[in-house]
């Protein structure tokens, strides 16, 4: 299935006042916007609450137009519908959103806390969603935020994407840290010296900042 909304709104933060100005209504703690397109043959429905949901309704059948989501459906008409829907989403993103460093709220909060504490912002050496935090003097990194699938950590087949953070640890506390929900052997780094922390609110910002301080000290 194609998750068009994730593609458009990745690393975007909504301004809820601007959503209202754009034309969203607020119903049952959810911002809702509808728009007919393609000569009123289709209707886009976008809902924003704790999560963002979008769907396209075929106005003739009054059912969701599922070919939009199936990658193998690449005929001219389906592609026109898909691009028209993307155009609506991009207008919303351009008008109602600001750019942020990372996909998850917690990852962005942690990035802000690192800047407030150390005066350091992430850099993106691979031109992707992986941000590195480096010492200002030596340029050695003390942390790395990545955007990976849950399967990358747990090998459970779950392709849901999330932000994780790698930090260096006191190796004498490694087993103790592994007992904490949300901390795993480091993804793509030395398991003896680094761990991965999921940035999905499982662990508090305060606890994560303490682990970052340890990593900062160990990598001086």
Q: 139 with 88, same domain?
A: no
Tokens coding 115: 């800047």
> The domain spanning residue 175 has which CATH number?
3.90.1150.30
pLDDT at 2: 72
CA 1: distance to chain centroid?
18
pLDDT of residue 149: 87
- Residue 50: give the domain boundaries: 4-99
Q: In this structure, are 145 and 87 located in the same domain?
A: no
User: For position 129, what pLDDT does the model report?
Assistant: 83
pLDDT in tens, 78-114: 999 999 999 999 999 999 999 999 988 999 999 999 9
List of residues 6+ apart from 179 with CB closer than 8 A: none
Q: Do residue 112 and residue 72 come from a single domain?
A: no
Are 126 and 171 in a shared domain? yes
Flag residues of the chain having pLDDT under 50: none
- Enter the tokens of residue 150: 């849950």
């Amino acid at each position: 299935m194609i998750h068009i909304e994730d593609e458009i709104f990745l690393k975007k933060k909504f301004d809820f006042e601007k959503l209202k100005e754009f034309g969203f209504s607020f119903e049952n703690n959810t911002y809702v916007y509808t728009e007919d397109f393609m000569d009123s043959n289709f209707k886009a429905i976008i809902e924003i609450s704790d999560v963002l949901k979008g769907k396209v309704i075929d106005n003739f059948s009054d059912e969701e137009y599922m070919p939009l989501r199936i990658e193998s459906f690449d005929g001219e008409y389906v592609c026109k519908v898909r691009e028209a829907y993307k155009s609506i989403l991009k207008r919303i993103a351009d008008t109602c959103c600001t750019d942020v460093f990372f996909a998850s709220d917690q990852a962005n909060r942690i990035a802000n806390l690192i800047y407030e504490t150390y005066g350091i912002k992430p850099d993106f050496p691979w031109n992707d969603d992986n941000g590195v935090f480096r010492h200002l003097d030596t340029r050695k990194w003390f942390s790395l935020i990545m955007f990976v699938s849950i399967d990358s950590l747990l090998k459970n087949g779950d392709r849901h994407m999330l932000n994780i953070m790698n930090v260096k640890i006191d190796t004498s506390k490694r087993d103790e840290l592994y007992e904490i929900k949300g901390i795993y052997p480091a993804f793509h780094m030395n398991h003896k010296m680094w761990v991965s922390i999921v940035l999905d609110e499982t662990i508090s910002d305060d606890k994560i900042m303490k682990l970052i301080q340890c990593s900062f000290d160990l990598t001086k």
